[in-house]
A and B are shown apart, each in its own frame.
Chain A
Amino acid sequence: MLRTLTARLTLWHTAIFAALSVLLFGLVCLALKTNLRARTDEELRNESGEFEKLYHRDGIEALRSEFRTEAESEGFKRVFFRFFSAGGEQLLASDMSAWGGLDAPPPAAASLPPGESLLATATLPGRSHGARVIYRKSGGGGLIQIGVTTEDDDHLLAHIHKVFGATIAVMLFFGGAAGYFIARKAMRGVEGVTETAVRIGRGDFTHRVPLAGKGLEIDNLSRAFNDMLERIQALVEEIKGVTDTIAHDLRSPITRIRGIAETTLTGAQRMDDYRQMAGIVIEECDQMVHMINTMLEIAQADSGVAVFARAPVDLARLAADACDLFHPAAEDRKIRLEIDGTGAPVFALGDSTRLQRVIANLLDNAVKFTAPGGEVVLSIRATSTDALLSLRDSGAGIDGGDISRIFDRFYRGDRSRSTPGNGLGLSFALAIVRAHGGDIAVESSPGKGSTFTVRLPRIPTPPDYQKVISR
Chain B
Amino acid sequence: MNILLVEDDIRTAQFITKGLAQAGFAVRHAADGEEGLQRALMESYDAAVIDIMLPGLDGLELVHRLRRKKSLTPVIVPSAKGSVDDRIKGLQAGGDDYLVKPFAFSELLTRIQALIRRANRSPEPTAISVGHLSIDLVKRKVFREEREIELQPREFSLLEYLMRNAGRVVSKTMIIEHVWDYQFDPHTNIVEARMCRLRDKVDRPFDRKLIHTVRGVGYLLEEKT
Contacts and interface: CB of A to CB of B under 8 A. Distances in A.
Nearest to A425: B187
Interface string B158-202: 000000000000010100100010111111111011101100000
B216 A332 contact: no
B81 to A, nearest CB: 11
Contacts of A276: 215-216
Interface residues of A, number: 36
A282 B183 contact: no
Contacts of A368: 187-188
A328 B186 CA distance: 13
B193 A275 contact: no
Interface in A278-334: 278-283, 285-287, 289-290, 293-294, 307, 321, 324-326, 328-329, 331-332
B106 to A, nearest CB: 10
Contact of B182 (A328, A357, A419): A357
A329 B188 contact: yes
Contact of A282 (B182, B197, B217): B217
A314 to B, nearest CB: 15
Contact of A332 (B82, B84, B102, B196): B196
A286 B175 CA distance: 14
Given A275-B215, A283-B216, A332 B183 contact: no
- Interface size classification for chain B: 20 to 34
B214 interface: yes
A328 B183 CA distance: 18
Contact of B102 (A285, A307, A325, A360): A285
B177 to A, nearest CB: 10
Given A276-B215, A280-B215, A282-B217, A357 B183 contact: yes
A361 interface: yes
Contacts of B102: 285, 289
A307 B187 contact: no
Interface in B194-213: 194, 196-197
Nearest to A331: B193
| Dominant SS among interface residues on chain A | helix
| Dominant SS among interface residues on chain B | loop
Nearest to A421: B187
A355 to B, nearest CB: 11
Given A281-B216, A282-B217, A329-B193, A360 B184 contact: yes
Contacts of A367: 188
Contact of B82 (A281, A293, A328): A293
A279 B194 contact: no
A364 interface: yes
B154 interface: yes
A85 interface: no
Contacts of B154: 324
Given A286-B171, A328-B197, A357-B184, A280 B84 contact: no
Interface string B77-91: 000001111000000
Nearest to A324: B154
A425 B184 CA distance: 10
A275 B217 CA distance: 10
B216 A325 contact: no
Given A353-B183, A357-B184, A307 B84 contact: yes
Nearest to A294: B185
A356 B182 contact: yes
A430 to B, nearest CB: 15
A215 interface: no
Contacts of A463: none
A277 B163 CA distance: 27
B196 A328 contact: yes
Contacts of A280: 215-216
A420 interface: yes
A325 B180 CA distance: 7
B184 A361 contact: yes
Interface in B84-128: 84-85, 102, 104
Contacts of A289: 102
Interface of B: 82-85, 102, 104, 154, 171, 173, 176, 180, 182-190, 192-194, 196-197, 214-217
Given A279-B214, A325-B190, A328-B193, 10 more contacts: A276-B216, A286-B171, A294-B185, A307-B85, A325-B182, A329-B192, A357-B184, A360-B186, A420-B187, A421-B187
25 contacts: A276-B215, A276-B216, A278-B216, A279-B215, A279-B217, A283-B215, A285-B102, A286-B104, A286-B173, A287-B185, A324-B154, A325-B176, A325-B180, A326-B188, A328-B194, A329-B189, A329-B190, A329-B193, A332-B196, A353-B183, A357-B183, A357-B184, A360-B184, A360-B186, A364-B188
| 10 tightest Cβ-Cβ pairs between the two chains A and B | A279-B216, A279-B215, A328-B193, A283-B216, A329-B193, A290-B185, A329-B190, A420-B187, A357-B184, A421-B187
